[in-house]
Amino acid sequence: MDEICDALSNYRVNQIEVVNVKHPDNDYSEEDFSNSKWKEQKVTLQVGTIDLLPTHKKYYRFQGTPIIQLDGKNLGTFSPDSPKLPPGTTFEAMLSPDKGGRSVMLRIDRESIRLPETQLPQIDSPSAIAQSDNTPQLSETSPSAPCLKPTFIPGKSKFP
């Protein structure tokens, strides 16, 4: 994750196209973004993920898909042709609807992009990993775990 964040810090995202804005499952599907209240207004957005119930008919297709949110409500998904930001990212942008209103262009304030913090677990040594793993460990001399080595006899191979 750190490598991704480092790469993104050098990547210049100027604009993102948000699609499926009019999808009925999105919270802003009825909003008219060509309305004057949205023009030249900078808003704070966040990248979240679609969270569906396991019984939803499209659960396996869309669960966990990144989605752009405005005020904690679903706006739409990234266009396949747009740059993507990882979930947990926040940024400021100005909204511009397309002519049909089915998508919205976000003009990104690059200085406002805040990538999610990553915290990796501290690992002291391989023995610490083994101790944190709850799987029983067998010693090399354990009578309950004999070491079977194949023996090779020319023309035949056998296992003891």
Residue 155 gets the label, from left (phi > 0), alpha (psi -120 to 50) or beta, of: left
Residue 34: other Cβ atoms inside 10 A: 14
Confidence (pLDDT) at 64: 92
Q: What is the mean pLDDT of residues 9-33?
A: 87
Q: What is the mean pLDDT of residues 19-28?
A: 92
Q: Please say whether the dihedral angle defined by the alpha carbons of residues 65, 71, 74 and 80, taken in this order, is positive or negative.
A: negative
Q: What is the mean pLDDT of the chain?
A: 80
**Single-letter amino acid code for the residue at 25:** D
The mean-pLDDT minimum among 41-45, 48-52, 68-72, 130-134 falls in 130-134
pLDDT per residue as tens digits for the range 79-100: 999 999 999 999 999 998 887 7
Kindly report the backbone phi and psi dihedral angles of residue 3, in degrees, each rounded to the nearest multiple of 5, phi listed first. Answer: -65, -40
More confident residue, 34 or 87: 87
CA dihedral 21, 48, 3, 18 (to 10 degrees): 10
Residues in a beta bridge with 42: 94
- How far CA 111 is from CA of 68, 92, 96, 108, in Å, comes to 18, 9, 19, 9
Using CA atoms, how far apart are residues 42 and 147, in angstroms rounded to an integer? 67
Confidence (pLDDT) at 28: 92
